[in-house]
Amino acid sequence: MADNRNRVPREDLDSRSREELRREAREARERMRRRRNLFIWFLLIIGIVIAGVILSLTLFFNVSSIQVDGASQYADSKIIQACGVKNGDNLFLINRDKVEEHIQQNLPYTGSVQVKRKLPSTLVLEVEDSDITAAVRQGTEYFLMNADGKVLAVASGEKEFKQLIKDQKAKRKEAEKREKEEAKAEAAKTAKTEKTKKAEKTKKADSTTKKAESPKSSTKAAADEETVSNRPKASDEEEETTTTSTTTASSITVEVSTEKTKSWEGTVAVLTGLKVKSAQPGYPLEIGNPKILGMYRDIVEKLEEYNIQGITAMDFSNTADIRLTYQDRIILKLGPADGLDRKMAMAKKILTEQDEISTTQEGVLDLSIEGRGYFSQGEHEPLTTTTTAAPEENPEGGDSPVTQADGSGSETESMTDITAASTEESTDTTGETSETTTGYGGPGDTGG
């Protein structure tokens, strides 16, 4: 006979199954509700973001003021007009690259431009002027350009060219002076604000924590004051004499230290041997052989690296025989535009030595031979910034002989030879011709 004690009635099983089904249905409905709520919240957030973007593009962050900073020869109104941005334009939709390009093209003497946003509604333009670093001469015209090859102005002759250089130097000085005055005024305003805040803070601190001085400290302070008052003082005349002498000595020192480099600082080199195709102010110079501009930039970079100032002319008529003119008196024969590090190191060394001997002597510095540098003293036909031609070469490729001013036909040549291996010094004198050769060891030697 079967045991029915543990048997569950069928009615109870059906009731339990129905309860589980109802519970699972409730959980499914709850999950569905949560998903629906999350989706609604997601749509709401997206709607808020879209509304914020639309409002920011239509109502908020619109340009209401344009601020110009930096030392520029152009008036702020001209810079603002040239930038192409108007009040009401959205601050975040402005193409900063386009703004920089508009300013540099419409105002050719503008160099670097930085466009910044100052929330909520101010556009800041940081503008600096561009220096005239070179002028390409073709016929009687001069095309003035900066280090990047952008045309700044066109002069129809030498007189106009020199006048443009003079005017630009004056405008740059005026712009720098104005920037210093503005910076000084801003610093004074900031200092005044800080001083006021400090005074208020000190006053508040004194009012809350006031300490009475003891009689002992008061007596000591009075004694110290009496001691100081009894010390002997220098007369006003002595003080004035000391101050005057110090100021005079200082001014003399400054004048002496800057006199040597002042005349050649910021020299504009005249480039010849380039065929100009297009020269529109505000746009890059276009020439027949664009590689020459690359050579020019490489040379300028090395000149700056080795601090060689006073290059007044560059001749690219033959790219295998590039020639520079130093201070209108010494021709540098570079040869091709390779190995510039070595060549400029030797040029710096030899020019420094020759300037110590005389700052007026003329000659030719031949750097075209790899690893060597030769300086030949004597008159030459310089590559000037006006109409003189390049020096003629000897058919054999060497230096042209130099005839003395007395017409005797004698030749005097002082030659300096820098090599990577030689460390000897020798002198050989025959008749009226003397030659001195000095060697310096080590590759790239610049210090001797």
Q: Exposure of 135 by Cβ count < 10 A (0-12 exposed, 13-18 middle, 19+ buried)?
A: buried
> What's the pLDDT score for residue 16?
64
Could you tell me if 319 and 336 are in contact, meaning their C-beta atoms sit under 8 angstroms apart? Answer: yes
Residues with Cβ within 8 Å of 223's Cβ and at least 6 positions away in sequence, in order, are: none
- Distance (Å, rounded) from C-alpha 330 to C-alpha 351? 9
> What's the pLDDT score for residue 13?
57
- Distance (Å, rounded) from C-alpha 331 to C-alpha 390? 10
Could you tell me if 113 and 100 are in contact, meaning their C-beta atoms sit under 8 angstroms apart? Answer: yes
Question: What is the bridge-based pairing of β-strands 122-129 and 65-69?
Answer: parallel
Residues with Cβ within 8 Å of 418's Cβ and at least 6 positions away in sequence, in order, are: 346, 349, 350, 372, 373, 438, 439, 440, 445
The two three-digit tokens of residue 104, written as one number = 């540099």
> What's the pLDDT score for residue 318?
94
> What's the pLDDT score for residue 5?
58
- Distance (Å, rounded) from C-alpha 260 to C-alpha 265? 10
- Of the candidates 131, 130, 142, the one whose C-alpha atom is nearest the C-alpha of residue 384 is 142
> What's the pLDDT score for residue 263?
64
> What's the pLDDT score for residue 176?
85
> What's the pLDDT score for residue 7?
60
Could you tell me if 436 and 414 are in contact, meaning their C-beta atoms sit under 8 angstroms apart? Answer: yes
- Distance (Å, rounded) from C-alpha 344 to C-alpha 350? 10
DSSP class of 9: P
Tens digit of pLDDT at every position of the chain (448 positions): 455 555 656 666 566 677 888 888 888 888 888 888 898 999 889 988 888 777 666 667 889 999 999 888 999 999 999 999 988 888 888 999 999 999 999 999 999 999 999 988 899 999 999 889 899 999 999 999 998 889 999 999 999 999 999 999 898 888 888 888 888 888 888 888 888 878 877 777 777 666 555 555 555 545 555 544 455 554 444 444 444 333 333 333 333 333 444 467 778 999 999 999 999 999 999 999 889 999 999 999 999 999 999 999 999 999 999 999 999 999 999 999 999 999 999 999 999 999 999 999 899 999 998 778 889 987 655 444 333 333 333 333 333 333 333 333 333 334 444 443 333 333 333 333 334 333 333 344 444 3
Q: What are phi and psi of 290, to 5 degrees?
A: -60, -20
Q: 30-68, pLDDT tens digit by residue?
A: 888 888 889 899 988 998 888 877 766 666 788 999 999
Dihedral angle computed from the Cα positions of residues 441, 443, 446 and 448, in that order, rounded to the nearest 10 degrees = -10
Task: Give DSSP secondary structure letters for 266-330.
Answer: TPPEEEES--EEE--TTSB-EES-THHHHHHHHHHHHHHHTT---EEEEE-SSTTSEEEEETTTE
> What's the pLDDT score for residue 410?
34
> What's the pLDDT score for residue 216?
52
Phi-psi region of 282 (alpha: psi -120 to 50; beta: other; left: phi over 0): left
